């Protein structure tokens, strides 16, 4: 028996495979396809302080080896989550993490404080890629100062594991990672979607209602791997790697680059059973390479 269990500081995962926020609903959407208790953790939809309708249609465009989305954080707000959704999903035998978003610091703080009270939610993932309305629309996660300020404020009210999800739309992601580590983040997850756009040459129109949107899928994998590797060499807190993971081989690559755990997003749309297959595939890889403990693979990239 090989050991697949990993720890993100105090947070134990039975294996390193988690799902990416916004691609896995509340987990319920996948109950027909897989046994959620086989996963290390699930990330539920981006949750905000208040109800959000999200962006108008069209919200999605397929691109070479990937897709662009402009969902715009459609969700019913944190109160609805606590009252209606949480009681339905809290029995899952896996770590349930809530992805928390906001456009002003107060919203992040209030949302995190409410989720702090939920017994079966051991951690939140702070999504700092949303535009900061007060500072003129620039994303919190694109400057060290604003990233630090939101993490600092949430850290004061949130007592459990605080994961911070980093945006790749920056010049130097290690600076942001160091800034959130300094303010008390317990782990970082990366990457969120890369800003992109798609045009229909025939109609001369953009394919998304918002013109630009977030790119995900295998198209972003090399960028994501590079960023995980850079952040691994810059911080001491554990890293959760994601971006374009389609199979166990991709997952292993992220772990070798320094990720303690990984998340799977877009791949769930193409194969709703992919997460379970990745768990099995990681185990097979370990047996094939005679590795007893997954922890021996974290950051084990051999240069030269």
Torsion of CA 51, 159, 87, 43, to 10 degrees: 70
Distance in Å, CB of 237 to another protein, minimum: 29
The answer to whether 136 contacts another protein (rule: CB under 8 A) is no
The answer to whether 243 contacts ligand FMN (rule: CB under 6 A) is yes
For the annotated catalytic residues, the residue numbers are: 130
> CA–CA separation, 164 vs 19, rounded Å?
15
The Cβ-side half-sphere exposure at 253, using a 13 Å CA radius, reads: 17
> CA–CA separation, 251 vs 257, rounded Å?
10
Tell me how far the alpha carbon of residue 152 is from its chain's centroid.
20
Kindly write out the interface string for residues 39-58 of this chain, putting x where it contacts another protein by CB under 8 A and - elsewhere: ------x-------xx-xxx
Chosen residue from 44, 188, 264, 294 binding ligand FMN by CB under 6 A: 264
DSSP letter string, 216-238? ESGGGHHHHHHHHHHHHTT-SS-
Cα-based angle 10, 141, 111 (whole degrees, multiple of 5): 60
243 is in an annotated binding site: yes
The answer to whether 202 contacts another protein (rule: CB under 8 A) is no
Distance in Å, CB of 170 to another protein, minimum: 25
Contact criterion met (CB below 8 Å) for 188 and 8: no
Kindly write out the interface string for residues 215-244 of this chain, putting x where it contacts another protein by CB under 8 A and - elsewhere: --x---------------------------
193 is in an annotated binding site: yes
Distance in Å, CB of 20 to another protein, minimum: 11
The answer to whether 79 contacts another protein (rule: CB under 8 A) is no
Distance in Å, CB of 190 to ligand FMN, minimum: 8
Candidate segments 2-10, 33-41, 108-116, 237-245, binder of ligand FMN by CB under 6 A: 237-245
Q: Assess whether the previous peptide bond of 191 is cis (omega < 30° from 0).
A: yes
Candidate segments 62-70, 91-99, 147-155, 164-172, binder of another protein by CB under 8 A: 62-70
Contact criterion met (CB below 8 Å) for 15 and 253: no
Query: With DSSP H G I counted as helix, E B as strand and the rest as coil, what are the percentages for the chain, rounded to 5?
Result: 35, 25, 40
Q: How many helices (H) and strands (E) does the chain have?
A: 9, 16
What residue 242 binds from ligand FMN, another protein, none (CB within 5 to 8 A, per partner kind)? ligand FMN
Distance in Å, CB of 279 to another protein, minimum: 17
Binding interface with another protein (CB under 8 A): 22-25, 29-30, 32-33, 45, 53-54, 56-67, 69, 71, 74, 217, 266, 268-273
Q: Could you list the residues known to form a binding site, using ranges.
A: 21, 45-46, 69-73, 99, 127, 165, 191-193, 217, 243-244, 265-266
């Amino acid at each position: 028996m090989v050991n697949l269990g990993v720890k993100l500081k105090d947070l134990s995962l039975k294996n390193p495979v988690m799902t990416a926020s916004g691609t896995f609903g509340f987990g319920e959407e996948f109950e027909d396809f897989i046994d959620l208790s086989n996963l290390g953790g699930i990330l539920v939809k981006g949750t905000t302080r208040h109800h959000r309708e999200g962006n108008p249609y069209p919200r999605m465009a397929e691109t070479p080896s990937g897709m662009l989305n402009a969902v715009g954080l459609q969700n019913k707000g944190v109160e609805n989550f606590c009252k209606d959704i949480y009681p339905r999903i809290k029995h899952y035998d896996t770590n349930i993490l809530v992805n928390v978003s906001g456009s002003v610091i107060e919203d992040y703080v209030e949302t995190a404080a409410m989720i702090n009270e939920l017994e079966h939610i051991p951690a939140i993932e702070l999504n700092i890629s949303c535009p900061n309305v007060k500072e003129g629309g620039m994303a919190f996660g694109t400057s060290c100062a604003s990233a630090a300020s939101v993490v600092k404020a949430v850290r004061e009210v949130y007592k459990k594991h605080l994961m911070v999800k980093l945006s790749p739309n920056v010049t130097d992601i290690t600076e942001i990672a160091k800034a959130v580590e300094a303010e008390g983040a317990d782990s970082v997850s990366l990457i969120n979607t890369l800003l992109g756009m798609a045009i229909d040459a025939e109609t001369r129109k953009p394919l998304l209602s918002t013109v630009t949107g977030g790119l995900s899928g295998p198209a972003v994998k090399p960028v994501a791997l590079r960023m995980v590797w850079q952040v691994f060499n810059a911080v001491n807190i554990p890293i959760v790697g994601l971006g374009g993971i389609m199979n166990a081989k991709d997952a292993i690559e992220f772990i070798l680059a320094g990720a303690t755990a990984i998340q799977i997003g877009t791949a769930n749309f193409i194969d709703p059973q992919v997460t379970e297959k990745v768990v099995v595939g990681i185990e097979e890889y370990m047996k094939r390479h005679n590795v007893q403990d997954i922890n021996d693979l974290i950051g084990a990239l051999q240069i030269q």
